[in-house]
């Protein structure tokens, strides 16, 4: 995995920027924190159906975001150390990075674990007070490193996001502090995620012995960052048959692929209610339908505009490259302006047809999610080999299997539900056309089931002998009883600005002492 990551990163990072050995060291440092030897191993769930699961949760916070944020944290530190070389702590020209982020759960803990203890970096993560799951809150607030600051905001996730945006837009704040972001708008996050698409493909080639197996990736999708990495992988030569977007009931992406219209459909009151408070459903932005998969509860997808640009560029009739790029950018701006003003926009049939070349989509309800967790647990996991062709070892992370049965988290269950639908559709199509029915489906497992244990228990409550305590990862045992550090903050960007300035100053002064 590390060798492959180096080859991919080297295509985008020049050796003048980061020398070869330095980049290799950064990659090794980033992935030495993972519990699985293969970093992102693939497991076969059904050999007859060619159904595989790409496990992305073996990092420090048990979520796929660790793959990118472990690397991003080390990247931040690398450049700061280089720029500050020879500068004493008292030197006014010494650079200090202030990372500010908002989270409804997973991004915050992954960012904190990626940045904890880094030199000349302060990290401030805001979450809506009392609205993230206990596990997610504990993962964040039990990190006691001096450079980590958790702020529990008296408000909603929207309030946290608005504070971050206001801080980045404030000229006064930017004149005194070097601010940085950790969300998936940061290209380095997308780059790091490209690796596991290629790694899963090469593992499949080894397992099947075929030089060019037909395969699809299925991605539980909210903000579109994870599947955007898959799209970039296909543009780099990954021969995927399709990328399948799997959404929950917040289905703006699914509706776009079916109709060509990208429209907000906010819901409120009784219509919005759902999901489980214990798994952090109340942390979602306002207007979404609350579901059992809170990490995917979104109104709009922040990375989707990246794909829109490529679609506009590909379908343009303009021949001159720079003009074509500018035209694509102008189209995307027009669409996004309409989204803000009118709540949505539509695209022409050429754009929609281009979108369907690489992608398909499925929408999965909470009821279907629960049923899939039951169904997959009810089947036995094949014991012969992993998708990478090696003998199946004991799970690198405990809590995913119980008595030979696989336990899905609800987000991963959405991917598996979409996979099973695609498998059925491919089989029926092959029967009609005489095509190849043996299409492999690789579904991304984005989180460990313990992170959303209440949804899992809801699905498996009638299974005799099953309790989550029996399969809880050792890293989670007693986590909520550990010492915590967290500051309460009002939903005011000016007040948060004051808190950030005060705590950064204290950190800097402590280093000078």
- CA-nearest of 57, 40, 15 to 397 is 57
* β-pair type (261-263, 344-346): antiparallel
- CA-nearest of 225, 218, 150 to 187 is 225
What positions carry a catalytic annotation?
65
Q: Report, in this order, helix, strand and coil percent for the chain, each rounded to 5.
A: 50, 15, 35
- CA-nearest of 421, 468, 418, 464 to 448 is 468
Distance, first Cα to last Cα, the chain: 42
Specify the DSSP class assigned to residue 447. B
- Using only C-alpha atoms, the chain has a radius of gyration, in whole angstroms, of 23
User: Which runs of consecutive H residues, i.e. helices, occur in 209-320?
Assistant: 225-235, 252-259, 304-314
Dist CA 188 CA 192 (whole Å): 6
HEC letters along 134-172: HHHHHHHHCCCCCCEEEEEEECCHHHHHHHHHHHHHCHH
Give all strands (DSSP E) within 242-382, no chain letters.
242-247, 261-263, 344-346, 359-363
- CA-nearest of 136, 150, 138, 143 to 113 is 143
């Amino acid at each position: 995995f590390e060798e492959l990551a180096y080859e991919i990163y080297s295509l985008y990072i020049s050796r003048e920027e980061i020398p070869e050995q330095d980049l290799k060291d950064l990659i090794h440092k980033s992935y030495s924190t993972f519990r699985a030897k293969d970093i992102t191993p693939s497991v076969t769930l059904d050999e007859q159906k060619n159904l595989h699961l790409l496990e992305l949760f073996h990092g420090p916070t048990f979520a796929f975001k660790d793959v990118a944020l472990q690397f991003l944290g080390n990247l931040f530190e690398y450049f700061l150390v280089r720029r500050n070389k020879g500068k004493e702590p008292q030197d006014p020209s010494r650079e200090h990075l202030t990372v500010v982020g908002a989270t409804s759960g997973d991004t915050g803990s992954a960012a904190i674990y990626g940045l904890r203890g880094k030199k000349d970096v302060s990290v401030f993560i805001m979450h809506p007070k009392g609205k993230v799951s206990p596990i997610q809150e504990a993962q964040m607030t039990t990190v006691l490193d001096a450079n980590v600051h958790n702020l529990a905001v008296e408000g909603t996730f929207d309030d946290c996001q608005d504070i971050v945006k206001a801080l980045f837009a404030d000229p006064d704040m930017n004149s005194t502090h070097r601010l940085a972001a950790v969300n998936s708008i940061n290209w380095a996050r997308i780059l790091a995620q490209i690796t596991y698409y290629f790694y899963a493909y090469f593992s499949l080639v080894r397992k099947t012995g075929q030089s060019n197996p037909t395969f699809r990736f299925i991605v539980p999708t909210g903000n579109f960052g994870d599947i955007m990495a898959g799209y970039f992988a296909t543009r780099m030569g990954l021969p995927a048959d399709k990328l399948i977007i799997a959404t929950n009931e917040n289905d703006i992406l699914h509706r776009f692929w079916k109709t060509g219209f990208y429209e907000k459909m906010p819901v409120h009151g009784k219509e919005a209610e759902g999901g489980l408070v214990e798994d952090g459903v109340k942390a979602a932005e306002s207007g979404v339908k609350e579901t059992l998969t809170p990490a995917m509860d979104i109104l709009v997808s922040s990375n989707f505009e990246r794909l829109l640009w490529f679609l506009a560029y590909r379908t343009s009739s303009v021949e001159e490259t720079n003009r074509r790029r500018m035209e694509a950018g102008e189209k995307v701006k027009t669409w996004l302006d309409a989204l803000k003003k009118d709540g949505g926009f539509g695209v022409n049939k050429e754009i929609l047809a281009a979108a369907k070349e690489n992608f398909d989509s499925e929408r999965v309800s909470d009821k279907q999610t629960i049923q899939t967790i039951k169904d997959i647990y009810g089947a036995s996991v094949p014991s012969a080999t992993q998708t990478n062709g090696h003998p199946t070892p004991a799970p690198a992370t405990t809590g995913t299997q119980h008595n030979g049965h696989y336990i899905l988290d609800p987000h991963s269950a959405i991917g598996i539900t979409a996979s099973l639908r695609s498998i059925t559709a491919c089989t029926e199509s092959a029967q009609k056309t005489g095509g190849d029915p043996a299409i492999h489906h690789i579904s991304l497992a984005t989180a460990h089931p313990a992170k959303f244990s209440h949804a899992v228990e809801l699905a498996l409550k009638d299974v005799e002998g099953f309790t989550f305590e029996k399969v809880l990862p050792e890293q989670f045992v007693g986590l909520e009883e550990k010492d915590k550090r967290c500051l309460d903050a009002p939903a005011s960007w000016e007040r948060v600005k004051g808190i950030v300035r005060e705590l950064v100053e204290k950190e800097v002064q402590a280093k000078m002492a």
